[in-house]
């Protein structure tokens, strides 16, 4: 194969090949496409890879390559557009030479063991549109973001399980991400608040900040993100009430329940990331579900009636917060919902019977609240397991062991017991009062007539 000096594309991906990449790879000087992904290959990347100066694509994902990238002469790969090293055992710091690949549009380093700071020179990658740093050990997220703000074309930035235990940058000088469509800073245990510089990302469509340690309220400027259709801030420590501005999100209110995004995002296997980060897998070509996930925070207050305006939502998670009051009737207007989870709150009252009209509802969990009355027996609600209603001792119906007639009688027994107790107490009090009165009279009479 090495004698094929005019070979333009080498695609051996998706097999069970082992071994390493031979040093002789450097003799394929006309090679433009190298696809070795999804194999069992290992070893270090050869330095001679830098001799393939016509390379536009290097795809080595899902292998067992190890070592650092310092041996590869990236500075000679000026035609390189896509470098995919996802899911290997590569380590070390990113070499400075990688920032010389000025035509790079897609760089995926996720699921490796890279560490250290990312150089400000990453801003030299002016054509970069996709960057994934997920599951590494990088440090100094603020420096990274300041470097990336020069990458004006970046549309997808995935940062998760890296930059661990740092502070969410609050610096308002972080700007320049005018073309960013998907930002994921998740599972980093970052502290601080939701930063105001996010409000400048006017083209943002998907924002994932879940599984950090963010505090403070949901910012009222959230509705300024006019194109946002996926918001996941779950598993943080956010507080306060749901701002009414969140109920005014244009994409959540639109008639269309799915968004058709740039198909090139799917070409970068972004679906792998999304499927991993959400239990909701929505696979219709390049369509994405509209998601609002506020679960596992410390939000309080009532669920606003205005939530019924978010008619395009497919996924609504309000679980494990401190919401109280009744489930608003308007939630029944969310007729596109596939998943609804307000479990583990302090909700009271009855389950709205109109929930039965949510015909697409496939996952429903209302457990561990203080709801009461009968569970609607028609529509989708009749199809769910009893575990969906656990922890609500006042609920009754055919789905549960508790019959509604016995639940209705219980308050009468309680009232009777209270009435009985009241009568006993009154009798005792009257007896004592009467006895004391008689004794007092006798003492007075004895004093004057003794």
pLDDT digits (tens, 9 = 90+) for 173-191: 888 899 999 999 999 999 9
Q: Which residue has the higher pLDDT, 171 or 244?
A: 244
Strand partners, 138: 116
Residue 266 predicted with pLDDT over 90: no
CB 15 within 8 A of CB 37: no
Which H/E stretch holds residue 417? Answer: helix 404-449
Provide the pLDDT for residue 407. Answer: 53
Q: Which band of pLDDT confidence, cut at 50, 70 and 90, is reported for residue 430?
A: very low
CB 321 within 8 A of CB 299: yes
Exposed/middle/buried for residue 58 (C-beta within 10 Å: 0-12, 13-18, 19+): buried
Residue 274 predicted with pLDDT over 80: no
CA gap 102, 81 in Å, rounded: 8
Closest CA relative to residue 128, chosen from 107, 109, 113, 143: 107
**What mean pLDDT is predicted for residues 212-241?**
97
CA gap 24, 28 in Å, rounded: 8
**What mean pLDDT is predicted for residues 398-414?**
62
Provide the pLDDT for residue 31. Answer: 96
Q: Which band of pLDDT confidence, cut at 50, 70 and 90, is reported for residue 405?
A: confident
Say how many C-beta atoms besides its own lie within 10 A of residue 253's C-beta.
16
Provide the pLDDT for residue 50. Answer: 95
CB 12 within 8 A of CB 36: yes
**What mean pLDDT is predicted for residues 215-224?**
96
Q: Given the structure tokens 């009468």, which residue do they identify? A: 412
Domain boundaries, the chain: 9-404, 412-450
Structure tokens at 16: 């069970």
Provide the pLDDT for residue 260. Answer: 58
CA gap 70, 274 in Å, rounded: 31
Provide the pLDDT for residue 377. Answer: 83
Residue 215 predicted with pLDDT over 60: yes
Provide the pLDDT for residue 5. Answer: 80
Arithmetic mean of pLDDT over the chain:
86
CB 325 within 8 A of CB 348: yes
**What mean pLDDT is predicted for residues 38-48?**
97
Provide the pLDDT for residue 4. Answer: 79
Provide the pLDDT for residue 1. Answer: 60
Provide the pLDDT for residue 413. Answer: 35
**CATH code for the domain defined by 9-404:** 3.80.10.10
DSSP code of residue 199: G
């Amino acid at each position: 194969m090495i004698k094929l000096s005019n070979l333009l594309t080498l695609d051996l991906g998706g097999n069970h090949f082992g071994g390493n990449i031979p040093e002789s790879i450097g003799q394929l000087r006309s090679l433009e496409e190298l696809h070795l992904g999804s194999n069992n290959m290992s070893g270090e990347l050869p330095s001679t890879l830098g001799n393939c100066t016509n390379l536009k694509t290097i795809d080595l994902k899902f292998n067992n390559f190890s070592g650092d990238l310092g041996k590869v002469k990236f500075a000679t790969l000026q035609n390189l557009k896509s470098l995919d090293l996802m899911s290997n055992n590569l380590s070390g710091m990113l070499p400075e030479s990688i920032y010389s690949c000025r035509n790079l549009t897609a760089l995926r380093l996720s699921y490796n063991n890279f560490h250290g700071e990312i150089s400000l020179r990453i801003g030299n990658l002016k054509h970069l549109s996709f960057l994934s740093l997920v599951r590494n050990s990088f440090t100094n997220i603020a420096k990274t973001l300041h470097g990336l703000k020069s990458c004006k074309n970046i549309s997808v930035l995935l940062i998760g399980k890296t930059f661990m235990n740092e502070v969410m940058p609050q610096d308002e000088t972080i700007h320049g991400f005018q073309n960013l469509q998907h930002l994921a800073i998740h599972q980093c245990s970052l502290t601080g608040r939701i930063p105001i510089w996010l409000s400048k990302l006017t083209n943002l469509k998907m924002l994932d900040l879940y599984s950090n340690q963010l505090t403070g309220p949901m910012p009222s400027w959230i509705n300024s993100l006019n194109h946002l259709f996926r918001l996941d801030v779950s598993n943080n420590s956010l507080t306060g009430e749901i701002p009414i501005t969140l109920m005014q999100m244009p994409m959540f209110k639109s008639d269309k329940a799915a968004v058709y995004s740039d198909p090139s995002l799917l070409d970068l296997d972004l679906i792998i990331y999304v499927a991993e980060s959400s239990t909701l897998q929505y696979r219709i070509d390049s369509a994405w579900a509209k998601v609002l996930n506020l679960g596992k925070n410390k939000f309080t207050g009532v669920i606003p009636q205005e939530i019924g305006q978010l008619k395009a939502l497919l996924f609504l998670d309000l679980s494990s917060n401190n919401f109280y009051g009744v489930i608003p009737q308007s939630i029944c207007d969310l007729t596109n919902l596939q998943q609804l989870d307000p479990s583990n709150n302090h909700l009271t009252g009855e389950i709205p019977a109109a929930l039965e009209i949510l015909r697409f509802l496939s996952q429903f969990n209302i457990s561990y609240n203080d709801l009461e009355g009968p569970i609607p027996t028609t529509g989708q609600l009749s199809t769910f397991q009893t575990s969906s209603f656990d922890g609500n001792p006042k609920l009754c119906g055919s789905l549960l062991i508790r019959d509604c007639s016995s639940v209705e009688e219980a308050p009468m027994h309680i009232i009777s017991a209270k009435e009985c107790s009241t009568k006993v107490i009154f009798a005792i009090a009257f007896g004592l009062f009467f006895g004391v009165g008689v004794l007092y009279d006798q003492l007075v009479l004895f004093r004057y007539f003794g």
